[in-house]
Amino acid sequence: MVRKGTVDGFGPLFEPVSIGGVQMQNRIAMAPIRTGGLVNPDGSLTQRCIDYYLERARGGAGLIITGCTRVENTVERLPGPTPPGFEAMASYGELAESLHHYGAKVFVQLTAGLGRVLPPDFIDTVNTPVSSSVLPVFWKGSIMTRELTADEIQAIVQAFGEVAGRLARVGVDGIELHGHEGYLFDQFATAVWNRRTDRYGGSVEGRLRFAVEVLNAVKKEAGADFPVVYQFGLKHYMSGRSPGPWSGILPGESGEEAGRDVMEGLEMARHLEKAGFDALQIDAGCFESRYWAHPPVYQEHACMVDLAAKTKAVVDVPVIAVGRLDIPEAAEDVLARRQADIIALGRGLLADPHWPMKVRSGGRSRIRPCIGCHYCLRRISQDRKPLSCAVNPACGRERLQSAGYVRSVKNVMVIGGGIGGMEAARTVASRGHHVELYETASQIGGHLLPAAVPTPRGSPSCAGWR
């Protein structure tokens, strides 16, 4: 049933909403996704990266949250792009101006570091990994982390303030702290990983002190009205005993939570609101249960909305929901039921950057769906190639793939109606040519046809996206 006063029955998605003093034109955010291969060695954004975000703003997203960005490289020395310094800020200013042209706001996600989840190919190139406490490294349990000193924590806090201040001055609208998935902020916030006896350990207040000190440093340098969002998993879905090893809890399984349970997650939410965070993005999982943090096709759509709803019941700041919300009806239902204030799409906007516009214009049947394959993560984490998407080859190369109409229209014959043939026909037609597609089988689709057959739960492995 179409609700009165809505656009095609999708009214709440397109109502304005504010985070702190920043008003978004709608309640659709782009969730943070790592921009592997799209950042220069000095931490500045490539034009390819700016084009990638710009296409999502052009498609109607109200808020773009960038992939996580490091703020310093002296405490945790890592290979790859350096934290963005003064010279890199011009690219962030260009990003902000470009997105603002289409009415979108931009928040830059900042991370404290990796800690115990340092990737395997980084372990041999850095000194001893750091963490909240002495812990086994996730990928190589025979190696132990060392505990960060109070002075090192303060150096990281100061770096957050400096980077946030620069971002605010070039027009970035806010930041998000990456406190999710078992990375360094989460290692401090979680009792099973934080065994400190100083002021950064013990109670929830002590374990969140690092994040709160960062919040205060950001507000001091960027301004009291500069919005800061905190992203964290309300529940880890991790079982096992200390000191590990731990394993993940699958959907529908029961097990004693070894990490953070919902009750402690809600206590965290209340504390973070009281400390002054302007919004909370509610997620789930950690490296031991990555099928929550990066839900594959076997996870239900809206699989983490219940956690956002529980959080919204105990805080007044805006709550951002995530978790396979790329079905418009599901996203709308979250807002209509007041389970969250904003819905965030990650891979759904990689597959179709114009998702918001298609929903608003009644063209949801034309949305190119995310198939939950995790090709995007495999490309940047395993193949070490620039970010892209299995069903949208233009993702990450928007300028190169942009359709340009030709002066001379041709008649084009495409032989073969498999995946490659269909994409070739679509691309050529989008440039204005007349296309005929020929296929000997009774149906086009090729390998997509057997791939579309539902698979019994539990039989496939999730290893392809790790």
291 is catalytic: no
- In angstroms, the first-to-last Cα distance of the chain is 41
Residue 299, φ and ψ in degrees, nearest 5? -85, 145
Strands 434-438 vs 279-283: parallel, antiparallel or unpaired: unpaired
108's tokens: 């830059």
**Amino acid in position 310:** K
Spatial distance between the Cα atoms of 342 and 367, rounded to a whole number of angstroms:
20
Distances (CA, A) of 217 to 168, 212, 335, 353, 356: 13, 9, 33, 34, 35
Residue pair 411/434 in contact (Cβ under 8 Å)? The answer is yes
Cis bond leading into 243, ω under 30°?
yes
- Residue linked to tokens 């990281």: 156
**3-state SS of the chain: helix, strand, coil percent to 5?**
35, 15, 50
Helices (H), 175-238: 184-189, 204-207, 209-222
Spatial distance between the Cα atoms of 445 and 217, rounded to a whole number of angstroms:
54
Spatial distance between the Cα atoms of 26 and 15, rounded to a whole number of angstroms:
5
Q: Tell me the β-bridge partners of 175.
A: 108, 228
List the catalytic residue out of 52, 53, 92, 183: 183
Tell me the Ramachandran region of residue 162: left when phi exceeds 0, alpha when psi lies from -120 to 50, beta otherwise: alpha
**Amino acid in position 109:** Q
Cis bond leading into 245, ω under 30°?
yes
227's tokens: 């919005």
Instruction: Tell which residue, 96, 208, 110, 114, has the closest CA to residue 160.
Output: 110
Residue pair 227/279 in contact (Cβ under 8 Å)? The answer is yes
How far, rounded to the nearest angstrom, does the alpha carbon of residue 378 sit from its chain's CA centroid? 15
- Residue linked to tokens 């929550």: 292
Active site residues: 183
